[in-house]
Structure 1
Amino acid sequence: MTRKAVLICPGRGTYNAAELGYLGRHHGARSDLVARFDAIRAEAGRETVSALDGAERFSVSKYSRGDVASPLICACSLADAAALAEDIEVVAVTGNSMGWYLALAAGGALTPEDGFRVVDTMGSLMQEHLIGGQLVYPWMGDDWRADRTRKAELLELVADIDARDGQTLRLSIDLGGMLVLAGDEAGLNAFEAAVPPVGGRFPMRLANHAAFHTGLQAPVAEQGRTALPATLFHQPQKPLIDGRGSVWWPGATDTQALWRYTFDTQVCETYDFTAAIRTAAREFAPDLFIVTGPGATLGGAVAQSLVLAQWKGIADKAGFEAVQARDTLLVSMGREDQRAQVT
C-alpha cells in the first residue's frame, strides 16, 4: 500500500556534534551521490563533504560556518531523500530557509549537482559577508497552545525596535512556535534586553548565522543571481511549497519567476515555514510528513505548525502526541528510532 508523504528539508543549524559521521553511517562515505558532491567541492579547492563528515572531532567554530554547514546538510538531506522506501509517494516537497534550495533539488527543479552548487555558493556568500545575525525566541508555551496575543506583542516589539534610528530587526522565519529574528547587532541587543529569559536558553543567538530573509541580504542576493543563472532551473517534478506557502506546480511553473523568487524574494523577505506546513497539510493531505536529516530539531517546528493549522483537530502538544502515537504522522530521518519506518 502506497504511503503519501510531504518531504521536508532542513535548514542551517541541523548538523551538530551528534551528527558527525552521519553520511558515513547512513550512506557510505563513497556513495555515488556523495562522490559527485565531493567532486564539486574538490574542483573548487574546498574540503569535501566526506572529509568534513569523517573528521575525528566537531567544533562549533568550524561546523557552524555557512561554507561548511550548508554543503554538509545538503549532502545528508538529498542522500536521505534518495533513500526513501519504495512504498512512499512524495506528493510535495518543502523546506525551512536553506532547506528551500534542497527542496528545489529534491523536487526536480534543480539537478542534485546543481542544487549542491546553489547551496555551496550561497553558503559561501553568506559566510563571506556575514551581514547581521539571528536569534530565536519562543511565543508558544510548553503545551504548544497558540498564544496569538503574545506573538502579536513580540512582533510589535520587533517593529518598534526596527523603527528606531540605528537599529534593524525583522522577522526572519516564522517557525511554528518560535520566532527567528534577524538584524544588526544594535537591533538584536535591544530585543534581548527587552524580553524575559525563557527556559534558560532563550533568547538564543545562532552562531555564524547572518540576517537571513531580510533586506540586509540584498548584496548577497544580487551576487547569487550573478553566480547562479536561471538556466539551472527546470520544471519541477513534484509540487514545491515555498516560504510564503505558495505552490509551484509541475508543468505550470515559470522557471524565470522561480529563479527570481529563490535569489531575491526568498533571500530578502520573511520565510514563513508555518505557512508552508499549513499548505502542505491542507492542500495535499498526506499520510505522513517526512523530515530528512541531518538532525531532528525541525520536527518540533513541523509538529507545532500542524497544531497551528489545527490539522486533524490537533490543538496542543498532548493532542499531537496522541495522534502521533496512533498514526505516526511525523517521521524525522535524523532520529534512529524513526528512520527505519521510511527507508
Structure 2
Amino acid sequence: MAYSLIFPGQGSQEAGMGKDFYDAFSSAREIFLRADQALGFSLSDIIFNGPEEELRRTAFTQPAILTVSTAILECLKKEAGINPAPLSLAGHSLGEYTALVASGVLSLEDGVRLVHLRGRLMQEAVPEGEGAMAAILGLDQESVSAVCSAAAPGGECQPANFNSPGQVVISGNTAFVHAAMEKAKEAGAKKTVLLNVSAPFHSRQMRPVADQLREAFGSLMWNEPSVAIISNALARPVRSVAEIQQALFDQTFMPVLWHDSVIRMADDGVDTFFEIGPGSVLTGLVKKCRKGVTAQTCSSVQEFEALSTKLKEMV
C-alpha cells in the first residue's frame, strides 16, 4: 500500500481542538509552545478556549489549524515512533502550508508567521460584507463555471474550490455570488449554501494578497521538499523552491483543484489517504473523488492510536 498525508484547511477549526494531544503528549506541547513563541502571543489559549468568534478570525484560524495538524504529525514521529514515508503530501488551501512544514520546506516558526500574515492580509483585502463564498451542490465544474460567467461577466464571481464531483465552491463579490447561486438553482443545482467565511478566498479580489505574500517569501528560509507536494493550483507535484513559491502565489487567487489533486495522487499509486488535523472534511471528499481508495481521519488521540497501529503495519 502507498499512502499520502493530507492536511485540512480553513473551516475545520473548533475551540478545544488538539487539547487532548496537548494534555497527553510532551511533543505536542512543544509544538504549541513554539507556535506561541514565534507569534508573540498565546495562540494556544485561543485554540483551546476560544471564544469561537475569535478563533474564526482568519488571522488566528490559519496558524491555529497549521499548529494543531503539525502537533499531531509530531506525535506520530515522537510518541508513536513512526517516521512517516508518504508517497506525497497535499493540503487543502491553508493545508498546503501545513504540507510545506511537514516536508521541511518551511520551519514551524516561519510557517505560522506566514499564515498569520496571510490570514490578516486576506481579511483586510476586502471590506466586511463585500465578499462571500458559496457551495454549489449537484452541478459539474463546467456548469458552475458557466453560471459564474453568466452572473458576473466581469469576473467578480468565480469557482474557488473544485472539491469533488458535484461540489464546487464559488467566491467573489457578495452581490454576484448571490446572483450566481440563483442561476445555479435555475441550472439544476441540488442545493446552494452560503458559507460562513469572512472573505472571498481564492478569488481575483485576493490578488493584492498574493503580491504581498510574495514579498514576504523573501524573508523566510526555504528548503527543498523531502517528499512530493501536490499543488492546489496545478494538481501535480511541485519539487523546487521556486516552483513551490509560484504555486503558493497562484493558489491565493486561483481555484483549489482538490478533485484533480486526489485523482493525480491516486493515479500515481496512492491507495490510502490519512487526514492529519482537525475535522474530517477531506476524508469525505477523497472518498467522493475516487472510488476504491481508503481514507482515514486523525484528529483525536483515539484516532491517533488507530492510525499509529495502521502505519506500523504498513511499514
Partner of 2:19: 24
2:227 to 230, 238, 242: 238
Structure 1: tracts of 5 or more residues without a match: 141-147, 313-322, 324-328
2:260 to 271, 275, 285: 275
Mapped pair 1:122 → 2:118 = yes
TM-score using structure 1 length: 0.78
Partner of 2:156: 168
Structure 2: tracts of 5 or more residues without a match: 309-315
Partner of 1:260: 246
1:164-186 deviation per Cα after TM superposition (whole angstroms, max 9, x unaligned): 6xx71101010013101001012
1:17-38 deviation per Cα after TM superposition (whole angstroms, max 9, x unaligned): xxx2222212339711110001
Distance 1:203 1:266, change over 3 A: same
Contact 2:122 2:209 in 1 (8 A): yes
Structure 1 residue 135 displacement after superposition: 1.2
| Overall identity of the aligned pairs, in % | 22
C-alpha RMSD of matched pairs (Å): 2.4
Mapped pair 1:72 → 2:55 = no
1:153 to 140, 143, 155: 143
CA distance in 2, matches of 1:336, 1:202: 35
Partner of 2:45: 51
CA distance in 2, matches of 1:240, 1:139: 30
CA distance in 2, matches of 1:213, 1:135: 12
Mapped pair 1:37 → 2:25 = no
TM-score using structure 2 length: 0.85
Structure 1 residue 242 displacement after superposition: 0.5
Partner of 2:182: 193
Partner of 1:144: none
**Partner letter of residue 40 of structure 1?**
A
Structure 1 residue 337 displacement after superposition: 6.2
Contact 1:295 1:335 in 2 (8 A): no
**Partner letter of residue 156 of structure 1?**
A
Distance 1:336 1:26, change over 3 A: closer
**Partner letter of residue 51 of structure 1?**
D
- The DSSP-based 3-state class of the residue aligned with 1:212 is coil
**Partner letter of residue 26 of structure 1?**
F
Contact 1:161 1:187 in 2 (8 A): yes
CA distance in 1, matches of 2:303, 2:18: 17
Structure 1 residue 202 displacement after superposition: 4.3
Partner of 1:293: 277
1:112 to 100, 108, 114: 108
Partner of 1:218: 207
Contact 1:133 1:208 in 2 (8 A): yes
**Partner letter of residue 341 of structure 1?**
A
- The DSSP-based 3-state class of the residue aligned with 2:273 is strand
Contact 1:5 1:88 in 2 (8 A): no
Structure 1 residue 122 displacement after superposition: 0.4
Contact 1:103 1:240 in 2 (8 A): yes
Contact 1:134 1:180 in 2 (8 A): yes
1:81 to 61, 68, 73: 73
Task: Name the stretch that deviates more: 82-91 or 109-118.
Answer: 82-91
Partner of 2:313: none
Distance 1:130 1:336, change over 3 A: farther
